[in-house]
Amino acid sequence: MQELYGVNTNVKTVREVQAAIRRKAESTPPGLWINGFQFDDTKLDRPLTKKDLDEATTEHPVVVAHRGGHTSWYNSKALELAGITNDTPDPPDGRFFRKNGELTGRVAENARGVFNRVGKRETFTPEQRRDRARDGMRHMSQLFSACGLTSVHNAGTNSEHILAYEDCRKNGELTHPAYMMIRSTEAFNGFKAANIYTGFGDEWIRVGGIKFVADGSASERTMRMSTPYVGTNDYGILTMTQEQVYEAVDDAHSHNFQVGIRWMFAHKSFLDAGIRVPGASDYNPGPFEPLMAIQSMVTRKDYKGRVWGANQKVSVDEALTIATINGVYPSFEENLKGSIAAGKLADFVMLEKDPHEVDPDQIMNIKVNRTVIGGRIVYPNERT
Summarize pLDDT for 220-264 with one digit per residue, the tens.
Answer: 999 999 999 999 999 999 999 999 999 999 999 999 999 998 777
- Cα distance between the two ends of the chain: 20
Residue 109 pLDDT grade (very low, low, confident, very high; cuts 50, 70, 90):
very high
Our count of domains for the chain comes to 2
User: Same domain, yes or no, for 112 and 189?
Assistant: no
Q: Which of 117, 141, 174 is the last residue of a domain?
A: 117
Evaluate if residue 284 carries a pLDDT over 90. no
Is the domain of 235 the same as that of 178? yes
pLDDT tens across 296-349, in order?
999 999 989 999 999 999 999 999 999 999 999 999 999 999 999 999 999 999
- DSSP H helix total and E strand total for the chain: 11, 13
Is residue 246 included in any domain, yes or no?
yes
Binned at pLDDT 50, 70 and 90, residue 382 comes out as: low
Last residue within a domain, chosen from 91, 117, 143: 117
Chain-wide mean pLDDT for the chain? Answer: 95
Whether 287 is in a domain gets the answer yes
pLDDT at 62 over 70: yes
Q: Tell me, yes or no, whether 75 and 138 share the same domain.
A: no
Q: Within a domain: residue 24?
A: yes
Higher pLDDT, 263 or 169: 169
Give the chain's length: 384
Specify the 3-state DSSP secondary structure of 274.
coil
In which band, very low, low, confident or very high, does the pLDDT at 39 lie, cut at 50, 70 and 90? very high
Domain that holds residue 198: 127-379
Q: Are residues 264 and 358 in the same domain?
A: yes
pLDDT for 219 beyond 90: no
Closest CA to 143 of 296, 288, 351, 340: 288
Write down the pLDDT at residue 303: 87
Task: Decide if 297 is inside a domain.
Answer: yes
Choose the weakest-confidence range: 82-96, 100-114, 272-286.
272-286
- CATH at residue 30: 3.10.310.70
Cis ω before 284 (30° cut-off from 0): yes
Angle between helices 159-170 and 126-146 in degrees, nearest 10: 70
Domain match, 57 and 95 both:
yes
Number of CB atoms found within 10 A of residue 92's CB: 13
Mean pLDDT of 110-132: 96
The domain that contains 209 carries what CATH number?
Answer: 3.20.20.140
pLDDT digits (tens, 9 = 90+) for 322-332: 999 999 999 99
Q: Looking at the domain assignment, is residue 384 inside a domain?
A: no
CA atoms 10, 13, 16, 20: torsion sign: positive
For residue 37, tell me if it sits in a domain: yes
